[in-house]
Amino acid sequence: MTYLTLKQALKYAVEKKYIPCSPMDSIRKPKDEKPEMKVLTVENVNQLLTEAKKTEYYALFFTYEFTGARRGELLACRWSDIDLKLKQLSINRQLVDHNNVLTFKSPKTKMDVAR
């Protein structure tokens, strides 16, 4: 972020002829550091599901853990998205929060999840 801001500011300064050239032209953009992924262990998942069984959200947590669907996709599911005979869930939309206003939109990836 700092790199791009500085580069744009200096480019503007060159265009306005405040400076003859941008020192950023000879600097490579630093690589973005990706945060280390933290995944649950089998024990963590078992503990999570054991605790979730005590709530009304067990089905949601179970489905979240074992389908790969995103949270917003699961929260947008309707009964018509579930086929109990085929044991299949269709992801057709996602719930999105824009400044505390909830809306539905198309999912990033349309998928059917079978179990």
pTM of the model as a whole: 0.57
Nearest to 10 by CA among 23, 27, 1: 23
Give 101's strand partners.
98
Q: 18-71: per-residue pLDDT in tens?
A: 999 999 988 888 888 888 888 889 999 999 999 999 999 999 899 999 888 999
Can you tell me the distance from the alpha carbon of 80 to that of 30, in angstroms, rounded to the nearest whole number? 47
CA torsion, ordered 101, 90, 62, 96, to nearest 10 deg: -10
Mean pLDDT score across all residues of the chain: 89
Residue range 2-25: average pLDDT? 92
pLDDT of residue 72: 93
Asked whether residue 108 carries a pLDDT value surpassing 60, the answer given is: yes
